[in-house]
Amino acid sequence: MSVKKGRVFSGARPTGRQHIGNYFGAISNYVKLQEQYECVYCIVDLHALTTMETTQDLAKNTLEMAWDWLSAGIDPQKSIIFVQSMVRQVTELHTILSMVTPLGKLTDLPTFKDKVRENPKNVNYGLVGYPVLMAADIVLYRADMVPVGVDQSPHIEFTRETVRSFNYRYNTNVLIEPKIKLTEFPKIMGIDGVNKMSKSLNNDIEIAATAEETSAKVMQMVTDPARLRRSDPGNPDVCNVFSMHKIFSTPEQVEMVNTECRRAGIGCVDCKKMMAANMNAYFAPLREKRREYEKDPSATWDMLREGAKRASVLAEETMVEVRKAVGLPSLLKE
C-alpha cells in the first residue's frame, strides 16, 4: 500500500445532481487526490441550511450528489465520504471556535456581504457564523491541507487564524493549521456562453443527464454571435462549443473545427452534434455506474453512515483534546 502524503479535507453543499462545471471544478480533482492523500470528503448539509427556504429536498439532493461523486470515481474504500450532520462533534467544535472569533471579523468578510446582498430577507445567525463552521469542519478531521482556487484561499486563511486564536487562548497546540493547496480549476461556461455554469442560472448540463437531454442542451449553446448564416465564417476563439471540444474531442477533431469553422467549412449544427456525441461518450461509463447506485438508495445511505463512523473516530480524537484544552467539565470523572 502506498504511503499517503497527508490528509485533505473538502466539503461541498448538497446541490443535487452535479453539472459539468462541478465535475471539472471539483469532482475530478477529488478523484485524483485520493491516490496520493488520505481524503475526507463531506457533503455539508448544515452549511446548506443557512440559505435554504425549505429543506424538503435536502435528503434527495444529498443522495443525488453522492451518486454523482461515487459514479465519478470517489471511492469509499480509499476516502472517507459522509454527510456533515452525521458527525455531531462538528457543531460542538463550531460553538467552541465561535468563542475565539470576533464578530466584526465575520461581518467584515466579503463573502458575508455577498450573502447578505443575495439573501437580504434571511440574514440569520448561521450565515454570520458560516466561516466558523467551515473552520470546524477542516480542523475537526485534522486536515493538513484543503484544495481551493485562489478566490477561496481567504476562507482557509480565516481557518488558520481561528486555529491560532484557539491555540493561543487555551495555551495549546491541539488544533492544526491547514495549508492551502492551491488548485487551478478550469472555468466552465454555461450554455449561455456568458456566465459560469450554474444550476441557479439554469445554464448547466448535468453529468448524469441522458444522451438525449445532453444533446438538446448542446443544441441550445450560444455560438459565435457574429456567425449569422451557415455561409458566414466563424471564430472558434469566442465560441463556447469550441471550448467544450477542447475538453471532449480528439486533437484531430479540435484542429478540424478550428480550421473549418473559420472558412465556413462546418456548420454549427454539425459541430455541436459532434461535440455532444463526444460528451456523451465521455460520461457514458459514469452514467452506467450511476444507474446501478440508483437501484439501491439505502445502500448509499449505509455507505455514507459508514463514512460518518470513520469520520467520527477522527472527530472524537480531536474533541477529547479540545475539551481538555478548554477545561470543559464534560471530561471530569465524578
Contacting residues toward ligand SF4, per CB under 6 A: 223-224, 227, 234, 236, 239, 241-242, 257, 261, 266, 268, 271-272
DSSP state of 4: P
State the minimum distance, in angstroms, from the CB of residue 253 to ligand SF4: 11
State the minimum distance, in angstroms, from the CB of residue 221 to ligand SF4: 7
State the minimum distance, in angstroms, from the CB of residue 160 to ligand SF4: 44
CB 15 within 8 A of CB 38: no
Q: What contacts 299, CB < 8 A, 6 or more positions away?
A: 293
Run of H or E including 286: helix 268-294
Nearer to ligand SF4 by C-beta: 109 or 238?
238
State the minimum distance, in angstroms, from the CB of residue 251 to ligand SF4: 15
Nearer to ligand SF4 by C-beta: 97 or 275?
275
State the minimum distance, in angstroms, from the CB of residue 130 to ligand SF4: 40
State the minimum distance, in angstroms, from the CB of residue 274 to ligand SF4: 9
DSSP state of 81: E
Question: Looking at the chain, how many residues does it have?
Answer: 334
DSSP labels, 235-269:
-GGG-HHHHHHHHHS-HHHHHHHHHHHHTT-S-HH
State the minimum distance, in angstroms, from the CB of residue 248 to ligand SF4: 13
Nearer to ligand SF4 by C-beta: 22 or 223?
223
Run of H or E including 6: none
Q: Grid coordinates representing 91?
A: 457543531
Nearer to ligand SF4 by C-beta: 80 or 221?
221
Report the distance separating Cα 102 and Cα 152, nearest Å: 20
> Which residue is associated with the grid cell 435554504?
52
Nearer to ligand SF4 by C-beta: 107 or 250?
250
CB 34 within 8 A of CB 81: no
Nearer to ligand SF4 by C-beta: 116 or 264?
264
| 83 phi, psi to nearest 5 deg | -105, 135
Nearer to ligand SF4 by C-beta: 85 or 223?
223
